[in-house]
Amino acid sequence: MFPTAIAVLQLLPLDGTGTASDLMQSAVDLARSGLPVGTGRRARRRAAPWLVIAAIFVSLLALLPLAFIIWVAVQTGWETVSALVFRPRVGELLVNTVLLVLLTVPIAIVLSVALAWLSERSDLPGARLWAWLCVAPLAIPAFVHSYAWITMVPRLHGLWAGVLVSVIAYFPFLYLPVSAALRRLDPALEDAAAALGLGPWRVFWRVVLPQLRLAICGGSLLVGLHLLAEYGLYVFIRFDTFTTAIVDQFQSTFNGPAANMLAGVLVSCCFVLLGLEVLVRGEERYARVGSGAARYQQRTRLGRATIPSLALFVVTTLLALGVPFVTIGGWLAAGGAAVWRFDEIGLALGQTLFLAIAGALLATVAAMPMAWISIRAPGPLQRLLEGCNYIVGSLPGVVIALALVTITVRIALPLYQTLFTILVAYALMFLPRALVSLRASIAQAPVELERAASSLGRPPLQALWSTTIRLSAPGAAAGMALVALGIMNELTATQMLAPNGTRTLAMAFWSYSGEIDYASAAPYAFIMVAMSLPLTWLLYVQSKRMAGR
């Protein structure tokens, strides 16, 4: 069970845009889970001890936030803990959070499956364009979606507003794996079902949908974890979740036990989601049975359903892309040249890029030993270590930030609000992104090359450098880009941990919109979207390529 669990954990619950690429990776991994990956090439051998030590060190570091929540709980004592946890406020938050997840996820599933099926398997006019438009909303940070909606409909607030904006902001996390799975489905199965006397609808229910289960489970987990972790989106529409409450608590009482205990409950919610997903997914293998290449899929003729189908895409695109673009454009037009304070924007951009690049470098270097071991010397220990990293990656940024605040304040005060701490936080949060990309690219560099280099007289480290590391460089670069993008749009942890005087794009956007100066916030939103947009195109192309088209 464990390897497949890890494959799903690769569906990382991280803020911002980059996640979807991990998602693509995992969509493929998911389809192949069941199988031992690259059996032929994966020569089992023992890893160098320093690599193992490095990997263990990184994993222990990754477990630090979790350990601290437990430690704080133990220190606080059961009575205080129960008083803090079992109170009406927590119940309220729990109801809010559970309702949000229970309403958003099913709606997002139905919407994504419908969109994915129409764009992949029907003769919808302009299917390729629509497919890309369904991925593009990922370029817009969730809190910018919310900002756009609150501008359009100022009275928007509460649960249903939360559901609406959440579905719009996060449905691509389901759309991507579901459409990838649909592309990979073997049409012979549908033919077989038709030959056995099933009509088109029954074929969909009994053959197609069950095979999308893995993709739907993985995507739903991702959406669910995002719902738990998101802060900015729900502040705009005044909807309280655990994450917003933790930040409020932190702002009023700093790192008191109250905030820590809320974080504990939030972490439990994450674990419940992870567990649920494992339960629902089951032990199935959904890969193609048999050999040979699959036939081309035929596209279903929509006929009279073409217009309503197109309408669905038009409405979705208007809500997910039209609203943010019109709003940002509107504020930019209203603000005119005055909102482009170039000195301030330049400073924010510089700081953001610096943090993003430094964080990406750190995360990639930290992921290197683990990635190497997981491909070249897999075993139970490695799977355990890797599992730790993925679990930590699925924790909300606010939890990791809170833990690091607690640790630095109590143990290493000089490190509090330093560049070092914020970079460590980024590395912990985004490590899985770097890990997945690195792993995939190391898997493509055959170990034989490394051996050939050794046999030609290179010492081990040089052999590693001149073969595997060189070959995995593109993958590492892709992973770094994803981490950098995640950091660029990160808000919660940055606010809590960054050194005084730091003002990233997201922070500047947040503080202006907090002052209801929406026009001044618009340039920052615009820059964040503009920098993320190319990545969604990349994701779209990548997902096509992975399906062999």
Residue from 90, 198, 477, 538 binding other proteins (CB under 8 A): 198
For residue 446, the tally of other CB atoms under 10 A from its CB is 17
Q: Does 196 bind other proteins (CB under 8 A)?
A: yes
Q: Phi then psi for 444, rounded to 5 degrees?
A: -90, -10
Smaller CB distance to other proteins: residue 31 or 246? Answer: 31
Cβ at position 192, least distance to other proteins in Å: 4
H or E, element range at 503: none
Q: Does 462 bind other proteins (CB under 8 A)?
A: no
Q: Does 291 bind other proteins (CB under 8 A)?
A: yes
Residue list 150-189, contact with other proteins (CB under 8 A): 186, 188-189
Q: Which residue has the tokens 């510089």?
A: 350
Residue from 161, 167, 193, 229 binding other proteins (CB under 8 A): 193
Q: Does 207 bind other proteins (CB under 8 A)?
A: yes
178, 361, 418, 543 from 548: Cα distances, Å: 16, 31, 46, 9
Smaller CB distance to other proteins: residue 213 or 458? Answer: 213
For residue 273, the tally of other CB atoms under 10 A from its CB is 22
Contacts of residue 297, Cβ cutoff 8 Å, sequence gap at least 6: 120, 121, 183, 185, 187
Q: Does 303 bind other proteins (CB under 8 A)?
A: no
Smaller CB distance to other proteins: residue 284 or 448? Answer: 284
> Any long-range contacts for 445-452 (C-beta under 8 Å, 24+ apart)?
445/471, 445/472, 446/41, 447/41, 447/43, 447/376
As a whole number of angstroms, the distance between CA 259 and CA 253 comes to 8
Burial of 302 (0-12, 13-18, 19+ CB in 10 A): middle
Q: What are 432's two structure tokens?
A: 């899985």
Smaller CB distance to other proteins: residue 188 or 276? Answer: 188
Of 138-146, 288-296, 381-389, 463-471: span binding other proteins (CB under 8 A): 288-296
Smaller CB distance to other proteins: residue 290 or 303? Answer: 290
Smaller CB distance to other proteins: residue 91 or 200? Answer: 200
Helix and strand numbers (H, E) in the chain are 27, 0
Binding-site residue total for other proteins (CB under 8 A)? 30
Residue from 287, 310, 415, 419 binding other proteins (CB under 8 A): 287
Q: Does 197 bind other proteins (CB under 8 A)?
A: yes
Q: What are 439's two structure tokens?
A: 């792993």
As a whole number of angstroms, the distance between CA 212 and CA 109 comes to 11
Cβ at position 289, least distance to other proteins in Å: 4
32, 43, 200, 414 from 197: Cα distances, Å: 30, 47, 10, 72
Smaller CB distance to other proteins: residue 191 or 240? Answer: 191
Determine the residue type at 486.
G
Of 42-50, 99-107, 281-289, 385-393: span binding other proteins (CB under 8 A): 281-289
Under 8 Å between Cβ of 218 and 26: yes
Residue from 211, 316, 441, 543 binding other proteins (CB under 8 A): 211
Smaller CB distance to other proteins: residue 215 or 429? Answer: 215
Residue from 289, 413, 456, 516 binding other proteins (CB under 8 A): 289
Cβ at position 293, least distance to other proteins in Å: 10
Under 8 Å between Cβ of 390 and 56: no
Q: Does 337 bind other proteins (CB under 8 A)?
A: no
Q: Does 280 bind other proteins (CB under 8 A)?
A: no
Of 45-53, 280-288, 455-463, 483-491: span binding other proteins (CB under 8 A): 280-288
Q: Does 83 bind other proteins (CB under 8 A)?
A: no
As a whole number of angstroms, the distance between CA 506 and CA 353 comes to 12
Smaller CB distance to other proteins: residue 8 or 508? Answer: 8
Of 54-62, 73-81, 210-218, 237-245: span binding other proteins (CB under 8 A): 210-218
Q: Does 29 bind other proteins (CB under 8 A)?
A: no
Residue length of the chain: 549
Q: Which residue has the tokens 């939890």?
A: 399
Residue list 31-70, contact with other proteins (CB under 8 A): 34
Q: Which residues bind other proteins (CB under 8 A)?
A: 34, 186, 188-189, 191-200, 203, 206-207, 210-211, 213, 284-292, 298
